[in-house]
Amino acid sequence: MLLPLLLLAIALTLALLTLPLALQRNLLFPAPKKNAVLTSSSHRIEALAIPVGGRSLRAYLASPIDAPTRRSGLLYFNGRREHPTSIFRCLGQMPGQHLLCFHYEKLGPSLRKPDEARLVADGLAMLDWLSSTMALDPSELAIAGRSLGSGIAIQVCALRPVRRLVLVSPYGRLIEPVRAALPFMREWMLKDQFRSVEHIERVACPTLLVLGERDQTVPAAASRRLFRAWPGELSECAIAHSGHRGLLKRPEVQRAIAEFCRPDRSGQPAPGPVRAEETAA
């Protein structure tokens, strides 16, 4: 009687261990939440199907209603389960800028998920599309990435020099946030490792770090560690009582991103650290 129970326990343990390994890309790239931000008093928002390598990626472009004196643009890479248009919460603070975001390929239930190399290639293609559409060199555009998307944003910036980079809750290696949810996981188990710490050294533009001091998924200390040996211009917007979620909903974060990405800041040094002290969320 004891032996069958022991064998059953071993089988269940192995199943629990192998299931996250077999389905890790489904866990990493689930369907996004449906809380899209599709209205703005300062921008026109249009849904697009942008051709990329024989495929079409669903995208959203926010264009200023009033023509700006100087054209500028921002490409956003969203976090896990975050709707790409979350960045449009910043539109009211960025009335003269174009913002582009898009859905990663094959989110939700899918047998063939995108891998790290494909996501970076798609990111480069979207940056090139925005550059061509706006008739601006990539070095005149800005990029932002949140959480999972920060790993894509950093690699895109390492391959295409851009004007400014905004990172919200970035990690040094993807295994860091993964182990916060699955402590038994090891880096060698991951099909996609997003080792940002190895790519950040090739990023040359001024960078804004946005983080929540109470983040349990990507602790603030881990985000700061990413820049420990980085010699570039770094600004910081730290929210004292915030965790991992909801940073883009905060007006102080929206203002910090807008100020940092202003087109007339080109050539100017990045602003110093900003610490936002507010009541507990």
In a domain, 124, yes or no: yes
**Cα–Cα separations (whole angstroms), residue 52 to 102, 124, 126, 150, 192:** 12, 10, 8, 21, 21
**Cα–Cα separations (whole angstroms), residue 68 to 31, 42, 256:** 35, 11, 20
What integer pLDDT is reported at residue 25 of this predicted model? Answer: 57
What integer pLDDT is reported at residue 108 of this predicted model? Answer: 45
In a domain, 13, yes or no: no
As beta bridge partners, residue 59 has 48, 102
Residue 14: enclosing H or E segment and its boundaries?
helix 2-22
Radius of gyration of the chain (CA): 20
| Cα separation, 163 vs 265, whole angstroms | 10
In a domain, 23, yes or no: no
> For residue 77, which amino acid is it?
F
pTM: predicted TM-score of the whole model, two decimal places = 0.84
In a domain, 34, yes or no: no
In a domain, 19, yes or no: no
pLDDT along the chain (281 residues), means of 10: 52 47 58 84 96 91 87 93 94 94 71 79 96 94 96 97 97 82 74 88 96 92 93 95 92 96 67 45 32
Domain count of the chain?
1
What integer pLDDT is reported at residue 281 of this predicted model? Answer: 32
What integer pLDDT is reported at residue 2 of this predicted model? Answer: 58
Q: Is residue 30 within 8 Å of 11, Cβ to Cβ?
A: no
The CATH number for 115's domain is: 3.40.50.1820
In a domain, 33, yes or no: no
In a domain, 16, yes or no: no
> For residue 215, which amino acid is it?
D
Q: Is residue 143 within 8 Å of 162, Cβ to Cβ?
A: yes
In a domain, 50, yes or no: yes
Domain of 199, in residue numbers: 43-276
What integer pLDDT is reported at residue 277 of this predicted model? Answer: 43
| Cα separation, 65 vs 82, whole angstroms | 26
